[in-house]
Chains A and B, each alone.
Chain A
Amino acid sequence: MSVTNLLDNWAAVRHFHPIDDKPHDPYKWAMAIDLDACIGCNACAVACYAENNLPVVGREKFKHGQVMHWMRIERYWEEDGRDFPDQGFQFLPMMCQQCEAAPCETVCPVGATNHTQDGLNSQIYNRCIGSRYCSANCPFKVRYFNWYDYPTTENVWPAEMNYQLNPDVTVRGKGVMEKCTFCVQRLRAAEVTAKGEGRIVREGEVQTACQQSCPTGAISFGNLVDPESRVHKQWQAQQVDLDKDAQEKNQKEGGTDLRGYRILEELRSYPSVMYLERVRESAV
């Protein structure tokens, strides 16, 4: 940055698109969720609890809004004058969108949340001081804070459940922020194995816990830069580009039949999760 381009043209100060900040070579992990296939069974949320050692906070803290579900099923219905409008539930599985230009990353005072080479939004528990600015600036509110010291709280993991904890994942203490990692422990294991064999991770070789547990296969996950991956094909078929804040297909006159969209795309955070719009009338 020089004085000249400061005076000249401020737009030129940023020389590259935020998604090009990290190389994404050979991986850019991304997701596609088919809302038409989602039946709202919450299996993904449960799988996430098991895989990522999420604390089960109990009824009282749940009521206070202190629940820790990294993966949550949001429910929406139309108030259209029906007797039981909530019979027309629509489900939206919501987790960290692993934004390419993540609003949470820039505001963290200690740099505890960062972008990785393979396109994840990482969280360093040891570095976090708990200012909660990241959550304040997250438009999706998918970051969860350890309001209490759950490992030492009664009934979060009853004694016999200790063996159920996943040894690959840290148990978080009080005062740190956490969120969906795209099951980074699985990704790293697969990446390391593949590297040892001198190749890249193949399609289907690694699954996230939510994807694995989804009975209808609504969630697909994979390497967006790998042309063979299902995610890549889905994103391409739906004409959703990672680096756009408004997709071209939506600007065509008369709209489009394609179902792919990203949530709050216009905020220019470039989320890594694409949703496929629901076609069916109601959930049940």
Chain B
Amino acid sequence: MKDIREDIAWAKINQDVMKSLENPRPLYWVILFFAVLAFGIGIGCEVYQYQMGMGVANLDNPHVWGLYIATFIFWIGMSHSGTLLSAILHLMHADWRKPIYRFAEAMTTFSLMTAGLFVMVHLGRLWQFYYAVPYPNERWVWPNFQSPLLWDAMAIFTYLSSSVLFLFVGMIPDLAIARDNMQSGWRRKLYTLLALGWEGTDRQWRNFRVTYLTIACFLIPLAVSVHSIVASDFGMSQQPGWHVTSFPPYFVAGALYSGCAAIITLFIILRYVFKFEEYMTLPILKKIVRLTFAIAMVWTYLNCVEFASVWYSHDAVSKDLLIQKMTGPYAPFWWAMIFCGSIVPLIFAIKRFQTNIPVLFATSLLLNLGMWLERWMIVSPTFSHGYYPWTWDHDQWPSMIQWGIVFGSFGWFTLLFMVFCKMFPSVSMYEVKEMVYHRSLHLKQNGTVEQGVH
């Protein structure tokens, strides 16, 4: 099977994608409704927490961090695969990424925005957030540049702004198509503004290519460094279970993993909701599934490396914590993480399931559940089982406020993402045309290509 129908006409590509901006299937509105609902719940919880204080989250000493930080890592992690698809595969000339990278890049941007919210939600004094920003001030008071949390803030802001830029720049030719095809109205005005006067001249294309490539090259090291820095929030600390040298690659692998799983989920949803069957084809899905499987195995391997290095380090406290994770109060979640993260992806190895949409949908959700659990299992057990017995607290359970905000974040992400996909072309029209063009060269020579407006 081919990645895309080779005789598809360019005008039809425009038509199909532009239709996604107008009339999605009814499921779209259902998803949007539930997203708004979930987001509303999250907002309610946050307002309550802001008024009352962090105590309502049922955090305590030693459990000073909880689901907020775990979910923060989850969302940061999810953002990585967008860059993998759009930048790394772009440099590697893997053209099958073309129909799907736009929504993956949007996923990157919006999951970063969600992650950023969690930093805020987590702070005890949200209203003083700007202290952590190195703004010039007359007292020469700077943030503490030694703190991994500060590196984190900077890395995330850089990554967020670069990926917004990348998303936008990559979209300019498509925005111009949208501008030219829209009836007059506010959306046409918006596209006109955003298309920056794109006319598709040679010079514009040349500049566009250079710009796009430059940002792609800039983004790749950034993506790797962002999650390495998130890992150093833990790796740089002194706590058992966190003080692990292999954390940065482990985190990056985990990030790519959960990101790829999320791409599969969203791929299936978008394909149905916006009727993209022609573009988001099963062979492309199969390629992502294989990629995800490979990354899942890398993640499993790095997990083993971590356990082995703790085991053979003979660091009594870390070892104790590892045993505690496997047998203590967190054991069900820990084993669920191993099951969802390492066993479930084995389904992807079976050829029959690589294009089976219901199976893939369920599996990808399970994988992401596993990856969320992984982040929780990094954060919480360390707090529950510290250096010496008085600091142990095995019973602390996150309150409904914490769960509500975590739940709400999924609503917020879905809301942003779905609105984006309806507002902007979520399949890159010009790049699909390129893809079709390159793949149909041999057809052209035979003169069998469908006559379209080229």
Contact = CB atoms under 8 A, between A and B. Distances in A.
Interface string B384-417: 0011111101001000000000000000000000
Nearest to B142: A111
5 contacts: A127-B141, A128-B125, A136-B239, A139-B386, A175-B53
A116 to B, nearest CB: 16
A76 B60 CA distance: 21
Interface of B: 52-55, 58-65, 122-126, 128-129, 131-132, 141-144, 146-150, 153, 233, 236-239, 383, 386-391, 393, 396
Interface stretch (A2-10, A24-32, A146-154): A146-154
Nearest to A144: B61
A232 B128 CA distance: 41
Contacts of B128: 129-130
Contacts of B141: 111, 127
A135 B53 contact: no
Interface string A67-101: 10000101010000000000000001010000000
Contacts of B125: 128-130, 174-176
A258 B243 CA distance: 32
Contacts of B149: 107-109, 131, 133
B144 A65 contact: no
Contact of B153 (A94, A109, A175): A109
B53 A110 contact: no
A129 B123 contact: yes
Say what secondary structure dominates the interface of chain B: loop
A104 to B, nearest CB: 10
A139 B123 contact: no
A110 B387 contact: no
Interface of A: 61, 64-67, 72, 74, 76, 92, 94, 103, 106-111, 127-133, 135-137, 139-141, 143-149, 174-177, 263-264, 267, 269
A103 B143 CA distance: 17
A148 B237 contact: no
Contacts of A131: 122-124, 132, 149
A175 B131 CA distance: 14
Given A131-B149, A174-B54, 14 more contacts: A61-B55, A65-B396, A107-B147, A110-B132, A111-B147, A131-B123, A133-B149, A136-B237, A137-B238, A141-B386, A141-B390, A147-B54, A147-B60, A176-B124
